[in-house]
A and B are shown apart, each in its own frame.
Chain A
Amino acid sequence: MVTTLDGLRAACGEVTEAGADDAVDGVPARWVAWPGSTEEVSAVLRAAAGLGLRIVARGTGTRLAWGLPPTDLDLIVDVSRMDAVLAHTAGDLVVTVQAGLRMVALQDALARHRQRLALDGGDTLAGTIGGTIATASSGPLRYRYGSVRDLLIGITVVLADGTIARAGGTVVKNVAGFDMGKLYAGSLGTLGVITEAVWRLHPLPDARRWITTAGDPAHTAAAIAAVRASQHDPVALEVDRAAPGGAVTVGVAVEGVTDGIDARADAVADLLGTAAGTAATVADHIPDWWGQPLPAPHATVTCEPTGLADLLATSPGSLRGSAGAGVLTAGLSDDDRLGAELALLRETAWRHGGHAVLRCAAPPRKTGLDVWGPVPALTLMRRLKDQFDPEHRLAPGRFVGGI
């Protein structure tokens, strides 16, 4: 008799039985496939389609607890063998990579050419290319350079039925065909398995400075508004607050040529210090909290620029992230208070055009909670999912509205 395992092995050389460590957010898997190429991923997904298997794609597995646990899971498609830099023409500031490449390895390779992919932060750097796209991770640099959606210029994805679909290309300026990369960014693997990506790169700066100060929410929010309205052109605008009622640290990063960087940093420090009412300090090394993830459970909270003071004053738990982009992480209580804190956070965010999404928590804590909050255009999202994965076999239930 031909078993499921035989069927999968015919498609992909390496298939193993899943172990306890392979559970996704508490949901056990049965098998793990380790494809080595886009074509092998396609073969695995075609075989899985024939067998009706439910699939979750995995890189380093660091962010599989984001979103909700899958409702069903048979097969993990682990892309960590696909870890090559496929092409990097430094003069074009473009790199093509496989999805299983670790972000740290990519940044190291690029740094040798004095370049970088302008995605930073501890969460981002801990994972792979595929995971970074699927979770739309970002860090402090997003204030200037945007997030995954803004830097991804080409993508290869394998759909649930095994179809290999490319979009975009290897040039930055390109409007040929639909911009499909936007859909896959932050989709938590519900539309397809990402196998390759093409990124726009930026030069590494000669010099960097970090300017920080601290104060109460009203003063620090005013300091941030002053920097935003200035012409100092910072690359990052961060806040860090350990607990409600505590002091808020504001951090501004400036980058550029060595000549003049200190004068620029001093000008920012003057502005920041005056507005915050506490003198700011300039450092040539990164602050230890900069871009570091908060322990689970944590939520992503967004707000308009003018809502920042309110958020800093009223949000529960700890708070850290890009005040500049209006995207922050709130660290919440790992106990029964979680639901109430999320509701409070959501209420504040809502007042300022934003949302609060519980991104990561131990599975029992998510039970009974509205993890996503209100999602606009959900009907269209369901129709999109039905087009891409009509049998709902890719990461079922992990995304908004049960997608």
Chain B
Amino acid sequence: MTTYQGAKLAVLAAELPAVLGSHAVITDRQRLRTYECDGLTQHRVVPGLVVLPESAEQIAAVVRACAAQGVPFVARGSGTGLSGGALPHAEGVLIVTSRMRRILEVDVANERAIVEPGVINLDVTKAAAPYGWYFAPDPSSQQVCSVGGNVAENSGGAHCLKYGFTTHHVLGAEVVTPDGELVWLGGTTRDVPGYDLLGAFVGSEGTIGIATKIVVRLLRQPESVRCLLAAFPGVDEAGAAVSAIIADGVTPAAIEMMDALAIEAAEAAVACGYPEGAGAVLIVELDGPAAEVEHTFAAVRDHCTGAGAFEIRLARDAAERALFWKGRKSAFAAVGRISPDYIVQDGVIPRTVLPDVLRRIAELSAGTGVRVANVFHAGDGNLHPLVLFDEAKPGEAQAAEELSGAILDLCISYGGSITGEHGVGTDKACHLPRMFSTDDLDTMQRLRRAFDPAGVCNPGKVFPTPRLCGEVPGKRKGVHPLQAAGLAEQF
């Protein structure tokens, strides 16, 4: 017997082929399963219906049809998100933007590109590179993730310490509102009159509309890029080096840290050849005018030595720089070499408490016997602890989940955040009340209601719901298909 929601979905399945063409509407159960999860693979829901629109007008038509029937819809780009933001709705429509991959314009004189939402992040930079420009946000999934997804999640990346997040690099977006209207938020210039709805839209995790065209800023490539790898006896010394660099008034493009366990995993996976015996390594990258970079690079080197680095390697060319990054970028996947299962966290802490928090994490780990590998954006305090466990061993999964939760609590207690770049999505919705009061969350919902009074646009994400929060959040099982195929790395 068909449910009421199922009947409404059947209406859409019958109507939408006329709008999109039958090739763009998927109803077959086996094919629907392809879309059952995003990069957070432990949450899986087979969507009621999948559509593959090719234009903004088609997305608007699909959304209008959903709105008319009161059927929920979820937008999905490349499906690389790590918080379950694109988790489908069982009785809803999944709108996949992968057929909207046109770069509509690269206008270097106006320092912008206009792209469709399915365009791959790295392809924007590739299109601008011949002119000497690039698109700054660089999540490590940038070879596969979509700009539409970057906008929804306000994606960061290794270089956001200096260059900021997606929100700083989007000037405007054409958006389908949850009632199916096409509107422009922002534009091709700054300070468009009225409320900054574009600013609210970026990072709203697909809950207030779907971007159909995006105006992104392009930046001029820097004159000089220098990168060093510094090896320390332990994380305390490496943390002290980070503090010294920042206190000196230097803003590197990136400062990344890995601890001994993360280094061990990376060596096992990609033989990155980091200095032997390192209890922690730092990768520090500087860019800008050559004269400026040379001077600050020398200062950074001195700070590393002063904090106790026992070996410092300087990248002589792009190939060596890529080698430094190889270990760092492979770290997540590499953890699979030393543990069958793991949970990825994305907490943020104020930079100054880094040594304290790492010590507390080590104590938690020692106290419970659960191993934690630390890989993180040290410059902005964005931790990615990898909590290791073996699902096959009784009690390990539970212990890992508890430790993972304890790390988030630690981040909050030090004045930090539960997510720096992966988003709240499905994964952390139940943790959000630990950061915000009911009034805070209700106020955010006012914004959501202004856009989506009927509550059909990616419902059940970001904000806690009783259904969601009855379940235990957290652990990562298995490998994402894109990652298995070597197409994506996690950061």
Q: Which residues of A contact B (CB under 8 A)?
A: 89-94, 114, 136, 146-147, 149-150, 157, 159, 163-167, 169-183, 185-187, 191, 202-206, 225, 228-233, 256-257, 259-260, 263-264, 300, 302-306, 325-327, 352-355, 357, 372-373, 375-381, 383-384, 386-388, 399-401
* Among all A-B residue pairs, the 7 with the closest Cβ atoms: A182-B199, A260-B291, A203-B249, A165-B443, A231-B223, A353-B188, A387-B446
- Among A159, A172, A378, contact of B194 (Cβ-Cβ < 8 Å): A378
Determine the chain B residues whose CB is within 8 A of the CB of A264 once the complex forms: 289, 291-292
User: By the criterion CB–CB under 8 Å, are B450 and A187 in contact?
Assistant: no
User: By the criterion CB–CB under 8 Å, are A305 and B440 in contact?
Assistant: no
Most buried by A among B164, B188, B190, B223: B190
- Among B196, B423, B437, contact of A149 (Cβ-Cβ < 8 Å): B196
Determine the chain B residues whose CB is within 8 A of the CB of A231 once the complex forms: 220-223, 289
Determine the chain A residues whose CB is within 8 A of the CB of B381 once the complex forms: 92, 171, 173
Bound state CA distance, A327 and B435, in angstroms?
Answer: 36
Determine the chain A residues whose CB is within 8 A of the CB of B189 once the complex forms: 302-304, 326-327, 352-355
- Among A164, A165, A177, contact of B432 (Cβ-Cβ < 8 Å): A177
Determine the chain B residues whose CB is within 8 A of the CB of A399 once the complex forms: 194
User: By the criterion CB–CB under 8 Å, are A304 and B110 in contact?
Assistant: yes
Nearest-neighbour CB distance to chain A for B478, whole angstroms, equals 25
Determine the chain B residues whose CB is within 8 A of the CB of A91 once the complex forms: 243, 246-247, 351-352
Bound state CA distance, A157 and B436, in angstroms?
Answer: 14
Determine the chain A residues whose CB is within 8 A of the CB of B203 once the complex forms: 175, 178-179
Determine the chain B residues whose CB is within 8 A of the CB of A353 once the complex forms: 187-189
Bound state CA distance, A21 and B4, in angstroms?
Answer: 63
Given the contacts A147-B191, A176-B418, A202 and B436 also touching, CB distance less than 8 Å: no
User: By the criterion CB–CB under 8 Å, are B289 and A232 in contact?
Assistant: yes
Determine the chain B residues whose CB is within 8 A of the CB of A182 once the complex forms: 167, 196, 198-200
User: By the criterion CB–CB under 8 Å, are B418 and A159 in contact?
Assistant: no
Query: Of the 9-residue stretches B46-54, B177-185, B367-375, B468-476, which lies at the interface with chain A?
Result: B177-185
Select from chain B the residue with minimum beta-carbon distance to A174.
Answer: B417
Determine the chain B residues whose CB is within 8 A of the CB of A400 once the complex forms: 193-195
User: By the criterion CB–CB under 8 Å, are B349 and A171 in contact?
Assistant: yes
Given the contacts A167-B440, A177-B436, A225-B109, A326 and B190 also touching, CB distance less than 8 Å: yes
Given the contacts A91-B351, A380-B197, A327 and B110 also touching, CB distance less than 8 Å: no
User: By the criterion CB–CB under 8 Å, are B199 and A185 in contact?
Assistant: yes
Q: Tell whether B426 is near chain A: CB-to-CB under 8 Å.
A: no
24 interchain pairs, CB-CB under 8 A: A150-B164, A157-B443, A163-B439, A165-B439, A167-B440, A169-B415, A170-B415, A173-B156, A175-B156, A179-B199, A179-B203, A180-B443, A191-B195, A231-B289, A232-B289, A256-B291, A257-B296, A259-B295, A260-B294, A353-B187, A354-B189, A376-B183, A380-B197, A384-B195
Determine the chain B residues whose CB is within 8 A of the CB of A303 once the complex forms: 189
Q: Tell whether B284 is near chain A: CB-to-CB under 8 Å.
A: no
User: By the criterion CB–CB under 8 Å, are B220 and A230 in contact?
Assistant: yes
Task: Please encode chain B, from 347 to 369, with 1 for each CB lying within 8 Å of some chain A CB and 0 for all others.
Answer: 01111100000000000000000
Interface residues of B in 421-459 (CB under 8 A from A): 421-424, 428, 432, 435-437, 439-444, 446-451, 453
User: By the criterion CB–CB under 8 Å, are B195 and A169 in contact?
Assistant: no
User: By the criterion CB–CB under 8 Å, are B197 and A377 in contact?
Assistant: yes
Determine the chain A residues whose CB is within 8 A of the CB of B220 once the complex forms: 228-231
User: By the criterion CB–CB under 8 Å, are B196 and A171 in contact?
Assistant: no
Select from chain B the residue with minimum beta-carbon distance to A389.
Answer: B446
Q: Tell whether B10 is near chain A: CB-to-CB under 8 Å.
A: no
Select from chain A the residue with minimum beta-carbon distance to B195.
Answer: A381
Bound state CA distance, A157 and B177, in angstroms?
Answer: 26
Determine the chain B residues whose CB is within 8 A of the CB of A383 once the complex forms: 450-451, 453
Bound state CA distance, A236 and B193, in angstroms?
Answer: 23
Most buried by A among B109, B153, B428: B109
Determine the chain B residues whose CB is within 8 A of the CB of A177 once the complex forms: 424, 432, 435-436, 440-441, 444, 462
Determine the chain A residues whose CB is within 8 A of the CB of B58 once the complex forms: none
Given the contacts A163-B443, A176-B418, A372-B193, A380 and B183 also touching, CB distance less than 8 Å: yes
Most buried by B among A171, A231, A372, A386: A171
Task: Please encode chain B, from 376 to 394, with 1 for each CB lying within 8 Å of some chain A CB and 0 for all others.
Answer: 0100111000000000000
Select from chain B the residue with minimum beta-carbon distance to A384.
Answer: B450
User: By the criterion CB–CB under 8 Å, are A92 and B164 in contact?
Assistant: no
Determine the chain A residues whose CB is within 8 A of the CB of B350 once the complex forms: 89, 92, 94, 170-171
Excluding A92-B350, A177-B440, A380-B183, 13 further A-B contacts by CB distance (< 8 Å) are A150-B167, A173-B160, A173-B421, A174-B417, A175-B420, A179-B204, A181-B199, A186-B191, A302-B192, A303-B189, A327-B191, A377-B185, A387-B449
User: By the criterion CB–CB under 8 Å, are B436 and A233 in contact?
Assistant: no
Determine the chain A residues whose CB is within 8 A of the CB of B446 once the complex forms: 384, 387-388
Nearest-neighbour CB distance to chain A for B441, whole angstroms, equals 7
Select from chain B the residue with minimum beta-carbon distance to A138.
Answer: B191
Given the contacts A147-B190, A233-B222, A302-B189, A259 and B291 also touching, CB distance less than 8 Å: yes
Bound state CA distance, A360 and B436, in angstroms?
Answer: 37
Determine the chain A residues whose CB is within 8 A of the CB of B70 once the complex forms: none
Determine the chain A residues whose CB is within 8 A of the CB of B422 once the complex forms: 175
